[in-house]
Amino acid sequence: MEWQSAADTVPSNFITEAQARSLLGKPPATGAWRPGDPEGDRRFVDVGALRFEAGGALGNVRIAYETWGALSAASDNAILVLHALTGDSHATGPAGKGHVTEGWWRHIIGPGLALDTNRWFVVAPNMLGGCQGSSGPSSLAPDGSEWGTRFPYLTIRDQVAAQAAFTDRLGISRWAAVIGGSMGGMHALEWAVELPHRVERLAILAAPPVTTADQVALNSVQIEAIRTDPLYRHGDYYDATDGDGPTRGLALARRMALLNYRSPAELNTRFERSWQSPISPLGAGGRFAVESYLDFHGNKFTRRFDANSYITLVEAMNSHDVGRGRGGVAAALSRVHARTLVLGIDSDRLFPVEGQQEIARHVPGNIDGADPVVLESKFGHDGFLIESDAVGAQLRRLLG
pTM of the predicted protein model: 0.92
Q: Which residues pair with 394 in a beta bridge?
A: none
- Which listed residue (320, 362, 381, 382) is catalytic? 381
Q: Return the sign of the alpha-carbon dihedral for residues 140, 103, 168, 196.
A: negative
The answer to whether position 81 is within a domain reads: yes
- Which listed residue (8, 88, 158, 348) is catalytic? 348
What domain count does the chain have?
Answer: 1
The boundaries of the domain holding residue 364 are 6-399
DSSP per position, 71-105: --TTS--EEEEE--TT--S--SS--BTTBSS--TT
The yes-or-no answer on residue 173 being catalytic is no
Q: Which of 110, 280, 244, 80 is nearest to 177 (CA)?
A: 80
The yes-or-no answer on residue 143 being catalytic is no
The answer to whether position 1 is within a domain reads: no
The answer to whether position 147 is within a domain reads: yes
- Work out the pLDDT band at 285, boundaries 50, 70, 90: low
What φ, ψ does residue 223 adopt, rounded to 5°? Answer: -60, -45
- Which listed residue (138, 139, 182, 347) is catalytic? 182
Rounded Cα gap, residues 37 and 57, in angstroms: 27
The answer to whether position 179 is within a domain reads: yes
Rounded Cα gap, residues 392 and 113, in angstroms: 8
Note the pLDDT tens digit of each residue in 303-337: 999 999 999 999 999 999 999 999 999 999 999 99
Note the pLDDT tens digit of each residue in 44-55: 999 999 999 999
Can you give the CATH number for the domain in which 21 is found? 3.40.50.1820
The yes-or-no answer on residue 89 being catalytic is no
Mean per-residue pLDDT, 368-385:
96
Look up residue 247 and give its amino acid.
Answer: T
Look up residue 134 and give its amino acid.
Answer: S
The answer to whether position 309 is within a domain reads: yes
